[in-house]
Structure 1
């Protein structure tokens, strides 16, 4: 022991490092534990050496508490810096300290020990000392808004003065401990500042918040956080839980009633087999009551008269199959728990895909091969703008019918209807295009020969709507890399084919489409008019399938039925097969949504099950954003150059489709939107590049054209001629502004003449002129 004291004295005199002093102090303290007694001189040396081994901040704490003589105890416990002291005080080992001093030190180092319990912090981290100095206790941390804590955790950007993510989370856990709202925010991986916002609004918990309360909070949050915040409200608030409980109750009732109806159908089938007429009548009554509760009153049709048990049995079998499918679909899987998941997953992520417009003469609108944008971080669902609608189409070739179905599936009902109305894109034969006069239709159909007619009745059932604004559109990594690789017009075309030319920015609708498709195949070709007449005799525009009185039920075999017949040269049905054309008729049901071949049950399951929703309408053509706009809004010079190339290539491709008014309009808008950095002599603009030296002459020419336009008598001029004149003058202004950099359009619009002319056009009573 004497040698240890000598070594300690020498180390103290020589100013050895604190670590060496600490080791000697511990060795001597172990001897004391073994029963050694120290003189006052030795004890003084031990305290001095231990004090030199401690961190200065610890020495100051001991002096403040007037317990400096206990420095050797701290060294012996390996508590030489503030972090080690805080952990020792919070641990099971008892330091040799008076109770008063112990409690005082525990209070001063409480926040430090709480954070260190959760994650290590280096003594080189300067932020930690500052943080624990300003917020020494857990109460101090919890009574401060997170925004105040965050300023200390973030430091000045230097690594030592900035908390790591794990350390920040540890501080967050201390801040939220015992606080229901903050722990809830932590559980939903929301940033702590969200709890600040809710507490500042006067809510200690989410439970009592209404949807309006939550919407006001969401104004101050970012996209992804808004989605999580709304999910938290749905799952934790009383109003959200009530809505979810109501949904589950409806789903449970639907399942229960469906099972009851299925059991009754089975009972009725057994009564039919056994010939129990009275029991069958009683079961029929119960079945009708359940059908009414399900909103399916038409099911009783055709089941009233038990005189034809085979027919009744066939219908009951079909009903049973529908009920089995309905029950299976209504309970399969959990509903998506956020609006963003619904949008991101519907129709295989269709919302992330663009639309290919005008790239091919044969197929105006189709889904490209690859997604263009990332799934939105925040995309709330809203009520649909439109109600349930039923539409009808007839085609005279399988190819055109399939193209129409494909366009509705990939581009939605509105774009498909606009293209259909233009008479371009789906029909290579006589058709019911609304852009043609009835005389034109009758003439075409009388001349066109076919042996196929396909009649479609489809119900569009919207459930919700959403919108992805242009500013929220972010290219996928794959699309961005592909865009950066474009260096020629040929590569630009490949990009347009892969990713599309446009993407919707207006309201898109979710829901389902219920299709009834009747295909007539004649044994020989005849005029489309004759086929249409024969088809009209066999079909109607309802969603019923098969035998009369079935309501909206489909037959047994997968929603398809077949029959045969004959018609004469006028299309009138006849029983004389020798002097008439014979045909086969196939009727089938197809579902874009839950695979249930009863329309009413389809709607019921669709409304309750958001996993079955598809994107059924992507908005109109006017709501489409060109893909080059998305590239140019990125602010990346390389992407902007690619956008210009894509625009030029698309215009050249789309010009071939001049018969489609909607495409012509988009081409015109694309031409007017050419930015000032467009290449000289661009093929987008007609005419030669304007030399800046000749600007005064060209400007006079442009101004003269504007004067001539403004002097037109808009009340008497032909509509098409007026539209042409306006387009030509504005194209000339755009060419001049783009190529000469003079930008006279702004000057003209600040004047009186051109705005006055535009106001006159806008005030015309003729919608066509407007």
Structure 2
């Protein structure tokens, strides 16, 4: 169960769209780690309208939303690097970029390449997700209040939280609850008279609603929806995508070398444009080398599963040495983090 609060309907809408398109893990990591260009671009595009909205509502908060959502994962999968391939449309656009990069030197060539690759990132994204992809459904509960003064925000948050808790309890019990200002939303909880009076003076309603991602759309209530979700895998959606991302330039060198005249030139063009557009450092990983390292990591993990805890210190040294050897080969800890640390064989039950 996750909880999020929003003070504008635009931020709420952006978050829900990001979760449904990218998954909660990527969404939660996006601002700090810059996972992929598409999400960052979407956030940047909204800055102007957000700034305008903030100026207009400087004297008052006109919107507050508290939403809770329950993930129900029922299956998961992971894609090895060599199984990731680009779509025909993406390949066609990259071939156009390759033709442009191969033209004679021209003062306008670099800006044009930047615009073309930026358009590519906006349309197709800069990274593909290896997973782990989680399939299932998400059930959302929302409490929304509008039209209150900024100094009332704390009371509105408390009122919305209490109303939402009652509403969720009602969902689990099989019935809904309608809550409006002036109604004692505390149910059996004891609250002081002054708090109830404050809520009544807010003169704002708490609008309660539910939404579903995946599951049978005709279901009436949480229990029926969850039963339908479990019973029919045709209703499942991708509800989380993990944070194991592979850049498009690495996919080119791993799976699409024969599709380009000079795959390294295309890969470098995309990498350099990504760095210029986002300010994030990017590296190219040779396709064969990356696959070799991933294979070595998986073989090592199979060996770890047979270990018995006879000499914990020595086994720990083996883990550290292997981690260092992997990182030296590809100049990063990505394989160790994305493959080794996510493997169930490397947990306290199986290794020191």
By the TM > 0.5 criterion, same fold? yes
Q: Distance in 1 between matches of 2:233 and 2:242?
A: 20
Q: Distance in 1 between matches of 2:207 and 2:149?
A: 17
1:374-431 Cα deviation digits (max 9, x unpaired):
xxxxxxxxxxxxxxxx111111111111111011100012112224778995998xxx
1:517 equivalent to 2:127? Answer no
Distance 1:489 1:652, change over 3 A: same
Alignment correspondent of 1:651: 275
1:454 equivalent to 2:65? Answer yes
Alignment correspondent of 2:161: 536
1:493-540 Cα deviation digits (max 9, x unpaired):
111111111111131010000011111113444464343233233332
Q: Distance in 2 between matches of 1:496 and 1:599?
A: 38
1:223-302 alignment, distance < 5 Å: none
Alignment correspondent of 2:231: 608
SS of corresponding position for 2:131: coil
SS of corresponding position for 1:471: helix
Alignment correspondent of 2:117: 492
Asked if the contact 1:590/1:597 (under 8 Å) is kept, the reply is no
Q: Distance in 1 between matches of 2:152 and 2:251?
A: 48
Deviation at 1:448, TM superposition (A): 8.9
Alignment correspondent of 2:181: 564
1:4-403 alignment, distance < 5 Å: 390-403=1-14
Distance 1:498 1:561, change over 3 A: farther
SS of corresponding position for 2:205: strand
SS of corresponding position for 1:461: strand
1:189-220 Cα deviation digits (max 9, x unpaired):
xxxxxxxxxxxxxxxxxxxxxxxxxxxxxxxx
Asked if the contact 1:566/1:574 (under 8 Å) is kept, the reply is no
Residue among 231, 247, 252 paired with 1:631: 252
Q: Distance in 1 between matches of 2:81 and 2:93?
A: 20
Alignment correspondent of 2:316: none
Larger RCO: Structure 1 or Structure 2 (Cα < 8 Å, ≥ 6 residues apart)?
2
Asked if the contact 2:76/2:132 (under 8 Å) is kept, the reply is yes
Kindly report structure 1 stretches of 4+ aligned residues shifted beyond 6 Å.
420-424
Distance 1:537 1:608, change over 3 A: closer
For the pair shown, which has the larger CA radius of gyration, 1 or 2?
A: 1
SS of corresponding position for 1:454: strand
Q: Distance in 2 between matches of 1:617 and 1:481?
A: 29
1:27-85 Cα deviation digits (max 9, x unpaired):
xxxxxxxxxxxxxxxxxxxxxxxxxxxxxxxxxxxxxxxxxxxxxxxxxxxxxxxxxxx
Asked if the contact 1:483/1:639 (under 8 Å) is kept, the reply is no
Q: Which runs of 5+ in 2 are unaligned?
A: 35-39, 48-57, 101-112, 185-193, 287-324, 330-352
SS of corresponding position for 1:535: helix
Q: Distance in 2 between matches of 1:627 and 1:527?
A: 48
Q: Distance in 1 between matches of 2:27 and 2:175?
A: 27
Alignment correspondent of 2:222: 599
SS of corresponding position for 1:504: strand
Alignment correspondent of 1:585: 206
Asked if the contact 2:7/2:64 (under 8 Å) is kept, the reply is yes
1:689-768 alignment, distance < 5 Å: none
Asked if the contact 1:519/1:585 (under 8 Å) is kept, the reply is yes
Alignment correspondent of 2:289: none
Deviation at 1:649, TM superposition (A): 1.6
Alignment correspondent of 1:405: 16
Superposed CA RMSD: 3.5
Alignment correspondent of 2:108: none
Distance 1:419 1:498, change over 3 A: closer
SS of corresponding position for 2:181: strand
1:605-649 Cα deviation digits (max 9, x unpaired):
1011011000001112xx011111112222234443222222112
Q: Distance in 2 between matches of 1:566 and 1:601?
A: 29
Asked if the contact 2:138/2:212 (under 8 Å) is kept, the reply is yes
Residue among 17, 26, 34 paired with 1:415: 26
Asked if the contact 1:493/1:646 (under 8 Å) is kept, the reply is no
Asked if the contact 1:522/1:581 (under 8 Å) is kept, the reply is no
Deviation at 1:582, TM superposition (A): 1.2
Deviation at 1:588, TM superposition (A): 0.7
Asked if the contact 1:469/1:506 (under 8 Å) is kept, the reply is no
Deviation at 1:592, TM superposition (A): 0.7
Deviation at 1:474, TM superposition (A): 2.1
Structure with the larger strand share? 2
Residue among 496, 504, 516 paired with 2:129: 504
Asked if the contact 1:504/1:618 (under 8 Å) is kept, the reply is yes
SS of corresponding position for 1:544: helix
Residue among 51, 60, 74 paired with 1:463: 74
Deviation at 1:674, TM superposition (A): 7.5
